[in-house]
Chains A and B, each alone.
Chain A
């Protein structure tokens, strides 16, 4: 079955750029919405954005000015870049496969990677 695995630095300083990669195994990249979602410690989930396999992207309005999601189909990976991070960006970052039927839902999810922003 499809599995997703996040990777990237776990500690950043304020103003740096967060860069994470999600590797997809056991399934196709095609026809899905490859998504990033984050969860601050002890808080709820926040949708960051997605990239469709065709390359089109869609981002949360609150993060749009700082976010870029890209896709490497040959290596079955997609990436998240978030610029000018602050302590408010400290969170567990999940990648997930978005499936569009009537709506858009996420399954499966990666195990998550904790990113801490601290000076």
Chain B
């Protein structure tokens, strides 16, 4: 099972909105609402930001939102802040009953 495809990097200025895409196939993203997103700051463990495509844990800011269209899931961060600078990973369940991750996207806040 190949990894999900994410852009290597995205950037935005404080206050702007950015979107990170995560592209899979009909055997993973397209077939299930099982997408989750994780934020990882340097030297730290990943943290859950979004689960089941668009659900947000209560501790996560409402500036973070998730969506899906076809085989592509997206994470949108609005009102970009310096603390949002991190690596972001998507994950999906697959028809082979395995879990796969995207390659990760480095977000730079300009």
Which of chain A's residues have a CB closer than 8 A to the CB of B46?
Answer: 45, 94, 106, 109
Do B34 and A103 touch (CB < 8 A)?
yes
Closest to A46 in B: B101
Q: In this assembly, does A31 line the interface, its C-beta being within 8 Å of a C-beta of chain B?
A: no
A109 to chain B, nearest CB (A): 4
Do B93 and A112 touch (CB < 8 A)?
no
Closest to A95 in B: B45
Q: How many A-B pairs fall under 8 Å by CB?
A: 70
Interface string of A87-119 (1 = CB under 8 A from B): 000000010000101111111111110000000
Which of chain A's residues have a CB closer than 8 A to the CB of B36?
Answer: 103, 105-106
Closest to A110 in B: B45
Do A47 and B45 touch (CB < 8 A)?
no
Do A109 and B45 touch (CB < 8 A)?
yes
The CA of A106 and the CA of B35, in the complex, are separated in Å by 11
Taking each of A44, A108, A109, A112, which has the highest tally of chain B beta carbons within 10 Å of its own beta carbon? A44
Q: Which of A47, A99, A102, A106 contacts B33 (CB 8 A)?
A: A102
Q: Which of A58, A61, A103, A108 contacts B35 (CB 8 A)?
A: A103
Do B52 and A102 touch (CB < 8 A)?
yes
Q: Number of residues in A with C-beta < 8 Å to the partner?
A: 21
Interface string of B48-71 (1 = CB under 8 A from A): 100111010100000000000000
B54-110 contacts to A (CB < 8 Å): 55, 57, 89, 91-93, 96-104
The CA of A101 and the CA of B33, in the complex, are separated in Å by 10
Interface string of B17-55 (1 = CB under 8 A from A): 000000000000000111110100000111110011101
Having A47-B98, A61-B98, A105-B91, one finds 14 other A-B pairs with CB under 8 Å, namely: A45-B46, A45-B104, A47-B101, A58-B97, A61-B96, A102-B52, A103-B53, A103-B93, A105-B48, A106-B36, A106-B91, A107-B51, A107-B57, A108-B48
Residue pairs across A and B with Cβ atoms less than 8 A apart, 5 shown, are A46-B101, A103-B51, A106-B46, A107-B57, A109-B47
Which residue numbers of B lie inside 8 Å of A, CB to CB?
1, 3, 32-36, 38, 44-48, 51-53, 55, 57, 89, 91-93, 96-104
